[in-house]
């Protein structure tokens, strides 16, 4: 399985392009334009059917959970039919390894190699190894230990020589030196890099730290690599995510009652003008991006860039 990325246009640090995943053994090639929304299909409690995702949302890619499939009564059926026939979806299917369950419950009863071989066996185009997410407020020692295990499992996944792309997780908590280290090591072996352990930051509106994490990763991976961010599904961040060159934007399909609960929590907890906070984040992200991509950044360069963007906003 090979991945290629054709750039069609770019601005700031974002790129619009065609992402192709080619299975040379089967002679199959699938292409999607990125950035794109990637719905997460909940196997135990689907809110929208696969047909609805295809017909109403024109979904070309979706994500589901390999660990949940492995533990379901339909496990043998999935193995026999393959995940595409089982879900009745011909597009690109990415699967999560069970890292979310690991973070939520503290442990799962599967090994890294076992879940990887299952992902390959059911025919997913994009799989993932069993990385160890670190919560944002964890001590650095914990983050370092978790990262060591994650990198070990990344190496194991590479040595298995699997016939699928790996959505290789970059961990490290909120420690930028660990994030940089993870990005360098992961991008040496994998073309598709996924920034993990960020959901709690979005839930708590810690966007400045989130920007720092994505920037630390982008600075230390190969420019030709493509980037995904696990769980990046906050609507306020979609525009910024595209500017950071995050190609998959997660569409979480939650029950309606959960959506209402989330809106009420946001309204009660956050008493600010959304427009003002978004503008502040845009300027903060723009400066961070310039420091990466401008060959000789200077205060004058940043000033002129912001002035140009401000003029464009005022004309709209």
Q: What is the pLDDT of residues 62-105, one digit of tens each?
A: 999 998 899 889 999 999 999 999 999 999 999 988 776 666 66
pLDDT of residue 282: 52
Lowest-confidence segment of 159-163, 187-191, 283-287 by average pLDDT: 283-287
pLDDT of residue 220: 93
pLDDT of residue 23: 83
CB-based contact 130:110 (threshold 8 Å): yes
Instruction: Determine the Cα–Cα distance for residues 204 and 136; give it in Å rounded to an integer.
Output: 10
CB-based contact 213:222 (threshold 8 Å): no
pLDDT of residue 149: 95
Residue 263 has pLDDT above 90, yes or no: no
Instruction: Determine the Cα–Cα distance for residues 3 and 290; give it in Å rounded to an integer.
Output: 28
pLDDT of residue 113: 94
Query: Tokens 């992402």 — which residue?
Result: 19
Residue 303: pLDDT band by 50, 70, 90 thresholds? Answer: very low
Residue 204: pLDDT band by 50, 70, 90 thresholds? Answer: confident
Bridge partners (DSSP) listed for residue 29: 22
pLDDT of residue 105: 61
pLDDT of residue 37: 80
pLDDT of residue 36: 83
CA geometry: angle 13, 196, 234, nearest 5 deg: 70
pLDDT of residue 291: 47
pLDDT of residue 251: 57
Catalytic residues: 96
- What's 54's DSSP letter? H
Alpha-carbon 34 to chain mean position: 13
- Of residues 143 and 32, more confidently modeled: 143
Instruction: Determine the Cα–Cα distance for residues 243 and 61; give it in Å rounded to an integer.
Output: 21
User: Which CATH number describes the domain made up of 2-271?
Assistant: 3.20.20.105
Q: Where in the chain is the domain with CATH 3.20.20.105?
A: 2-271
pLDDT tens for each residue of 115-163: 999 999 999 999 999 999 898 899 999 999 999 999 999 999 999 999 9
Q: Where are the alpha helices (DSSP H) in 22-175?
A: 50-55, 66-71, 75-81, 83-87, 99-105, 112-121, 140-159
What's the whole-number mean pLDDT along residues 24-34?
84
Query: Tokens 């809106």 — which residue?
Result: 263
């Amino acid at each position: 399985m090979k991945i290629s990325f054709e750039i069609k246009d770019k601005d700031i640090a974002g790129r619009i392009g065609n992402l192709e995943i080619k299975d040379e053994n089967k002679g199959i090639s699938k292409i999607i334009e990125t950035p794109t929304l990637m719905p997460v299909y909940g196997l135990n409690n689907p809110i929208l059917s696969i047909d609805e995702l295809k017909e109403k949302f024109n979904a070309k890619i979706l994500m589901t959970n390999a660990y949940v499939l492995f533990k379901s009564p339909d496990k043998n059926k999935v193995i026999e039919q393959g995940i595409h026939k089982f879900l009745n979806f011909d597009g690109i299917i990415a699967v999560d390894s069970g890292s979310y369950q690991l973070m939520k419950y503290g442990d799962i009863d599967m090994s890294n190699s076992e879940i990887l071989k299952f992902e390959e066996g059911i025919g997913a185009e994009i799989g993932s190894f069993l990385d160890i997410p670190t919560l944002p407020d964890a001590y650095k020692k914990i983050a370092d230990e978790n990262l060591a295990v994650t990198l070990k499992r990344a190496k194991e996944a590479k040595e298995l020589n699997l016939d699928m792309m790996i959505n290789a997780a970059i961990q490290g908590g909120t420690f930028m030196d660990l994030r940089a280290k993870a990005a360098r090591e992961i991008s040496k072996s994998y073309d598709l890099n996924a920034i993990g352990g960020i959901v709690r930051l979005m839930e708590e509106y810690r966007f400045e730290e989130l920007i720092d994490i994505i920037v630390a990763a982008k600075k230390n991976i190969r420019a030709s690599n493509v980037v995904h961010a696990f769980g990046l599904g906050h609507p306020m961040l979609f525009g910024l995510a595209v500017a950071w060159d995050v190609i998959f934007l997660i569409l979480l399909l939650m029950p309606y009652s959960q959506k209402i609960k989330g809106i009420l929590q946001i309204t009660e907890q956050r008493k600010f003008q959304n427009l003002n906070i978004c503008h502040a984040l845009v300027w903060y992200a723009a400066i961070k991006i310039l420091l990466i991509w401008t060959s000789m950044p200077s205060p004058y360069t940043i000033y002129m860039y912001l002035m140009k963007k401000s003029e464009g906003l005022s004309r709209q």
